[in-house]
Every structure is written in structure tokens, then in C-alpha cells.
Amino acid sequence: MKLVTAIIKPFKLDDVKDALSDVAIAGMTVSEVRGFGRQRGHTEVYRGAEYKVDFVPKVRIEVITDDAAAVRVAEAIVDAARTGQIGDGKVWVSPLEGVTRIRTGEMGDDAI
């Protein structure tokens, strides 16, 4: 089993969700996060006083897949989230040791 994690631009969430639906994932979790990469932050001006905002808003997506689907899911996210501009984000895949569905107690691939 794999955990596919992606950090994307917030306004790309709908596109990514639709793309993931097309590759038939079983579920996804999203959260609003802040951070910086090569894009760094941005500046804001209030009554002439300029502030540097180091952390910019992003959306983190987490999807659990079986081993076979992981690459397909990651590629779907990359295709849907790309604008070509700096700050598009990242996708990474990590191995999972175990998954349990809380309601039924099913484990492993059955719990995905």
C-alpha cells in the first residue's frame, strides 16, 4: 500500500479532485496548510507599511492506494495541478505499513 501526498495551489483543488475521480480512487483527505518552497512568500502593504508573508496558503491532499495504482494517482495529480508557474507544488509517494478500516476492522488492501 502507498500514501500519495500532494501540496498544490488552492485553486487547483477542484481540477485535482475531478482527475482523481476519473482514476477511481476510493477516497481522499484534504487540508489547508501553509508553507514555502522555491516560490517563497509574498508581500502585503497596509497604509504604507510593507510586510513579508513567508508562508503562503496551499492545499495538502492525501490519498491511500494499493501498490499498483500509486503511480497512476500521482500522475493524475501532477497533470491536473500544473499551471507551469512557480509554486505549483509537489507530489510524493511513501510506503504504508498498515491500514485499518475503523468501522469493520478490515485490514490491508481490503481497508482502502
Residues that bind another protein (CB under 8 A): 44-52
Residue 46 vs 102, nearer CB to another protein: 46
Report the b/e string of 48-68 with b at 16+ CB within 10 A: eeeeeeeebebbebebbbeee
Residue 51 vs 92, nearer CB to another protein: 51
Residue 38 vs 52, nearer CB to another protein: 52
Minimal distance, residue 44 CB to another protein, in Å? 6
